[in-house]
Amino acid sequence: MGKGFYISKPTGFVLLGLGAGAVLTILTLSVVYTQEKRKNEANSIDETRMVMTTAAYSTSAPSNKPWDKYRLPDTLRPEYYNVTLWPRLVADKQGMYIFTGKSGVAFKCVKETNLIIIHSNKLNFTLTSEMHHAKLTGLEGTHAPAVLKTWFQTQTQFMVIQLKENLQVGKSYWLYTEFRGELSDDLGGFYRSEYVENGVKKVVATTQMQPTAARNAFPCFDEPSMKAIFHLTLLHPPGTVALANGMELGTESMTINNQEVLLTRFEPTEKMSTYLLAFVVSEFINIRSPPEANVLIRIWGRREAIANGQGDYALNVTFPILKYFEKYYNTKYPLSKSDQIALPDFAAGAMENWGLVTYRETSLFYDPKVSSNEDREWVVTVITHELAHMWFGNLVTMRWWNDLWLNEGFASYVSYLGADYAEPTWNIKDLMVLQQVQRAFAVDALVSSHPLSSREDEVITPDQIDELFDTITYSKGAAILRMLSEFLSESVFAKGLHNYLHEYAYSNTVHTDLWKKLQEVVDADSSIQLPASVNEIMNRWILQMGFPVVTIDTQTGSISQQHFLIDPEAVVDKPSDYNYEWFVPITWMKNGSNMGQHWLLTKTASYEPMKTDTDWVLANLNVTGYYRVNYDSHNWERLLTQLTSDHKVISVLNRAQIIDDAFHLARAEIINITLALRTTQYLSEEKEYIPWESAIRNLEYFFLMFDRSEVFGPLQTYLRGKAQPLFDHFKVITSNWTQKPPRYMDQYNQQNVISMACKTGVKGCSELTRMWYRQWMKKPDSNPIPPHLKPIVYCNAIATGGVEEWDFGWKMFKNSTIGGEAEKLLFGLSCTKVPWLLNRYLEYTMDPNQIRKQDIIFTIVYVASNEIGQPLAWDFIRANWESIIKDFEGGSFFGSLILGVIKKFSTKFELQQLQRFKEDIAASGFSFGTHAIEQAIERTKANIKWVSENKAQVMNWLIEQSVSL
């Protein structure tokens, strides 16, 4: 299944409400799952699979025959295709939705062979008069050898045509086939999506080819370097419109077998890869850009959504973003149009098909009345991500999937630049640190991580290719490229890019081609000095997993680096050519003055300017480097003093990073836990979102571990002292909660304010949420709660309310027609403190008329995140696990459920219960789920260890704080 855009939307309520977003690594895997699930119900990332990618690499082909290898032989090159497809939008007599097709491909023979091996999957072919599945003719007067036999290799997804004689090198041939396939609802290849409009079911035929599903639509050389030109024709029912990568050339109506159909032809495509093909037949309507734009921009979607203006925001930003990228890449957009189309069913967030970008509805539609600022941000960043690919990915394409990280990391990185251009007041570039860098740190600090770049021969099968669409590829890729752009300077980076796109337009590259073009610019620019070539520097970051923690000792002026691992006892068993050492660009400041950049090239080095007894030193300015930083205790003290005396001398991003580094260093047992806690002391002065968010994510683990223990009281008191001033500040800037805060980041932070204030008992907070919710109960048709605050308000109002609030929320949940709204209520309902309501809510998960199957896991995990609900959810899954398992095909769902429910486990007693549960499952003969329970046991053990080592210290420290107040 393709995932054109993997990165999930940051979800306020998931982060705030239950800490599924906690960055602490013990939770990371379930986090990745939860977030991925949210955007992608149909296509879950199996977390165990994600971590163990390398294990699957050893699969070898069953024999050495060319058709048993997964890669195409290098004997033939496609030139162009003529493809006609006819999707049927009503089921046939057998109840099946099908499409039929005719396809020809012109290819050139480049090495002598008597075999034509071409991808084809799940297609049924019509036999020719010679009783073969395909017909071969020679082009330009060439004689074509006769077909000996044709057959299909289902494992490797090939159609094989064996010829009686060899093809001639340098000659071109035409291979023609007729076939039919199923227009199934599996979200891959040529598939169907359904929705209801005015009570009538509508069917859309659409595609998702990336990475390996073009072969499900018609026979093709389905590898990214097999670029060709595609002439596409679609047959479709009257009343529908057909779209494809190229512009429609015209539509004629005709009658086939007494059936009236329309035939639409399209402009031939540019020379392109098969995975970027797209075609859609639908009853959608569009809005389009004003005629003065030289590229036609259209936003397509369901009639109702477009008529209601849900595509307006996308239309507003698409053209400026396209122009921005033309300028940034200094290369014209080569097509005459750019369609953006929102599909009711779509597996990924969006897909960058050249000229016809496909989106999930939530990634393209924005409704100011119900959507929040985050929803809008998601739309603009997804559009920029996809449009960035129009050049980087589509015009110049990786030779093979092993370089996917370059494609995706790049689009993820520059999407922030484009979004910043479209929404200049948001400071959206700063969010990269929370959304990409810290996210990558979390996964990359595990021994189970993997290098960004794999060898070409390590990624062969479709499953191996699928596995590459992960956090490392997207987020670490983005973080690494941001670092590169920073140390080269943005202008050198952009110039190198331009040269790269220019040289390799319409062809394929490996990542070293980009390094080469960047190196040329560096060599020509005397103002930039690198300690080694771009290639040598970058190899250390992409060919070995993980990242360093840099330790600066200001007493001695020594700096050193060490592979950062969150688990202090972890043993790395993967060798690295670079010995887990990196070339680290250290930007730094002393007492607030920028001291420039210093390269650390060895394990340890001495750097005299960093030696000081009096000044504070801060490194990794704005977290542009992909590494964490530790200091000697004197410097830590000086930094803490600076934070409390005047934190604004240190940038917002570095304030966030000081907190994040400290908590993770403590977690890895490199510094003391109380030092980490002390980085939060200055928060009573902090008004900015990013440092608060960083602190909240890190403290989430404390809530999980302590919310049922005696530490909770002092923790609440301490944090109330920090949250109170922020709550008061927001009360002022929102005119007593009646207005939106004017700054974008403050709209984000408002969620943190209310969440923290209510959680820690700040006076006025629960009154506020109750008041809002009461107003809504009085007038259910006009919800007065600002969209971005809904999850928190629902949660707190239901938590402090009783059955009346709960039942109202449930009624609104059942009535809601907007997916996002239902999700928010689903979460809010789990917050009640009334045990019987929680139990009834859990029972509802057993009844598909009450709670849909796709929401069961969320519901149970949400309830388990509530300290009252935790034991209820645990009892519930132990009592019902057999029927829960039956409901889900794969073990990954069950895994996420278990890991979600045991998040708070931290006692020996809980560990024993978990072990008994494992035995019960094993005894009943179920094989799956055991892996997840092993993981759950491991996490519980780690929690027990962490609590036993830290609880007393944390408790004492918190008590001291309240005494000194």
Which parts of this chain interact with ligand NAG (CB under 6 A)? 82, 98, 104, 124, 174, 180-182, 231, 312-313, 316, 368, 430, 594, 621-622, 651-653
Among residues 377 and 693, whose Cβ is nearest to Zn ion? 377
Q: Which residue number has the CB closest to Zn ion?
A: 411
Among residues 61 and 98, whose Cβ is nearest to ligand NAG? 98
Q: Which of residues 701-720 bind Zn ion (CB under 5 A)?
A: none
What is the nearest approach in angstroms of ligand NAG to the Cβ of residue 100? 9
Residue 211: asked if its preceding bond is cis (omega within 30°), the reply is yes
For Zn ion (CB under 5 A), the number of binding residues is 2
Under DSSP, is residue 168 helix (H, G, I), strand (E, B) or coil? coil
Distance CA 570, CA 568 (A): 6
Residues comprising the chain, all counted = 965
Distance CA 905, CA 946 (A): 11
Looking up tokens 């200094």 gives: 330
Distance CA 739, CA 784 (A): 11
Residue 408, annotated as binding a ligand: yes
Contact 897, 861 (CB under 8 A): yes
Catalytic residues: 386
H or E segment and range at residue 236: strand 229-236
What is the nearest approach in angstroms of Zn ion to the Cβ of residue 406? 11
Among residues 622 and 755, whose Cβ is nearest to ligand NAG? 622
Please choose which of ligand NAG, Zn ion, none residue 653 contacts, taking the beta carbon within 5 to 8 angstroms, the exact cut-off set by kind.
ligand NAG
Among residues 107 and 410, whose Cβ is nearest to ligand NAG? 107
Cα angle 130, 132, 137 (rounded to 5 degrees) comes to: 75
Residue 385, annotated as binding a ligand: yes
Please choose which of Zn ion, ligand NAG, none residue 411 contacts, taking the beta carbon within 5 to 8 angstroms, the exact cut-off set by kind.
Zn ion
Provide CB contacts within 8 A for 945, sequence distance 6+.
none
Secondary structure in 3-state letters for 16-58: HHHCCCCCCHHHHHHHHHHHHHHHCCCCCCCHHHHHCHHHHCC
Please choose, from the candidates 295, 338, 339, 321, the residue with its C-alpha nearest in 3D space to the C-alpha of residue 415.
321
Among residues 186 and 408, whose Cβ is nearest to Zn ion? 408
Please choose which of ligand NAG, Zn ion, none residue 762 contacts, taking the beta carbon within 5 to 8 angstroms, the exact cut-off set by kind.
none
What is the nearest approach in angstroms of Zn ion to the Cβ of residue 479? 15
Contact 585, 599 (CB under 8 A): yes
Residue 729, annotated as binding a ligand: no
Distance CA 447, CA 575 (A): 12
Contact 220, 116 (CB under 8 A): no
What is the nearest approach in angstroms of ligand NAG to the Cβ of residue 422? 10
Query: Is 478 a residue that touches Zn ion (CB under 5 A)?
Result: no
Among residues 169 and 249, whose Cβ is nearest to ligand NAG? 249
Looking up tokens 């007493």 gives: 555
Torsion of CA 945, 950, 955, 956, to 10 degrees: 140
What is the nearest approach in angstroms of ligand NAG to the Cβ of residue 431? 10
Distance CA 594, CA 588 (A): 6
Among residues 135 and 951, whose Cβ is nearest to ligand NAG? 135
**Residue burial 93-105, b: 16+ Cβ < 10 Å; e: rest:** eeeebbbbbbbbb
Question: What tokens does 929 get?
Answer: 């789920």
Cα 419 off chain centre by = 17
What is the nearest approach in angstroms of ligand NAG to the Cβ of residue 691? 12
User: Binding string, 398-417, against Zn ion, x = CB under 5 A?
Assistant: ----------x--x------
What is the nearest approach in angstroms of ligand NAG to the Cβ of residue 648? 12
Please choose which of Zn ion, ligand NAG, none residue 26 contacts, taking the beta carbon within 5 to 8 angstroms, the exact cut-off set by kind.
none
Please choose which of Zn ion, ligand NAG, none residue 47 contacts, taking the beta carbon within 5 to 8 angstroms, the exact cut-off set by kind.
none
Please choose which of ligand NAG, Zn ion, none residue 180 contacts, taking the beta carbon within 5 to 8 angstroms, the exact cut-off set by kind.
ligand NAG
Q: Which of residues 158-187 bind Zn ion (CB under 5 A)?
A: none
Cα 914 off chain centre by = 31
Phi, psi of 86 (to 5 degrees): -135, 95
Please choose which of Zn ion, ligand NAG, none residue 282 contacts, taking the beta carbon within 5 to 8 angstroms, the exact cut-off set by kind.
none
Q: List, as residue ranges, the binding site.
A: 385, 389, 408
Feature table: binding site for Zn(2+): 385, 389, 408
Which residues of the shown chain bind Zn ion in the complex (CB under 5 A)? 408, 411
